[in-house]
Every structure is written in structure tokens, then in C-alpha cells.
Amino acid sequence: MAEISFPLPDLGEGLIEATVLEWLVSPGEQVERNQPLVEVETTKSAVELPSPQAGKVVRIYGGPGDKINVGEPLIEFEVPDNTAGIVGTVPKEEAPKRRVRLSAVLDED
């Protein structure tokens, strides 16, 4: 398993920090991509941050009222090593299935 850290992104031009209002996920929880993670407030607005990826939440940074700087860790996920950061889906290895049978009279000339 690999741990992936998601730092607080730039939430608008020139914003340097945000205040945590409420965490919508907790450590140990499995989250899906785009699932809302946390509600934060900047000097411009309050926004929900969607998860950039699927994974298990390992730790979260800051409680309600705490300030986090842009670029500092916000949340860490645990994901299987070989799928860390992947676009798309790892194909499943499946036993070959067929409906077509071959038939031929092969003259061995």
C-alpha cells in the first residue's frame, strides 16, 4: 500500500489559506473520487472540496476553526501500490471466453 498526501489546493486567485469548517470524512473511511471531503472557508467563500481520488483515509489535518496554508497537507489516503495515481481502471485478468468454434479440413500439401 502507498500513502498519498493531498495538500490544500489554491482555492482562488491569490488565496493563501483556508479555515476548516467541518470534516465530512474520518480516518479509516473508504472514499470515492469526487466525494466531498471537507468544508473549508476562505476570505471569499465557503466551499466543499471533492476528493481527487478513491482510497482509504489515513489521516486528516486540522479540526474545525484551524487554518491551513495552501500547499500544506490536508488529508492522506492509502491506496494499493500499483494503482496509486492511475487514470482509468486496472483491467481484470479473466479466463478467456469463446462462442466461436473453428472448423476446417486442412489438406496438408
Partner 1 sequence: MSNSILEGVDAEGDSTADSTADSTADSTVKGTAKNAESPATTVMSMQQALNRALDEVLAENPKAVIFGEDCGRLGGVFRITDGLQAKHGTQRVFDTPLAESGILGMSVGLAMAGFHPIPEVQFDGFAYPAINQIVCQIARMNYRSRGTMPMPITLRVPSFGGIRAPEHHGESLEALFAHVPGLKVVSPSNPHEAYHLLKYAATRPDPVIFMEPKSRYWQKGEVDPGNADPSGGAPEGAKVMREGRHLTLVAWGAMVARCLQVAELAAEDGIEIEVLDLRWLKPIDTAALAASVRKTRRAVVVHEAPLTSGLGAEVAQLITQSCFDTLKAPVERVTGFDVPYPSGDLEDEYIPNIDRILFGIQRVLEYKRG
The contact set with partner 1 (CB under 8 A) reads: 1-3, 81-82, 84-91, 93, 96-104, 106
CB 22 → partner 1: shortest distance, Å? 29
d(CA 9, CA 55): 18
CB 21 → partner 1: shortest distance, Å? 29
Residue 4 or 15 with smaller CB distance to partner 1: 4
Residue 21 or 84 with smaller CB distance to partner 1: 84
CB 44 → partner 1: shortest distance, Å? 26
CB 66 → partner 1: shortest distance, Å? 26
Query: DSSP of 30-52, one letter per residue?
Result: EE-TT-EEEEEE-SS-EEEEEPS
Residue 65 or 96 with smaller CB distance to partner 1: 96
Q: Please report the beta strands in the chain, taking only residues with DSSP state E, as ranges in sequence order.
A: 2-7, 17-23, 30-31, 36-41, 46-50, 55-60, 67-69, 73-79
Among positive and negative, which fits the CA dihedral 53, 58, 62, 64? positive
Residue 26 or 105 with smaller CB distance to partner 1: 105
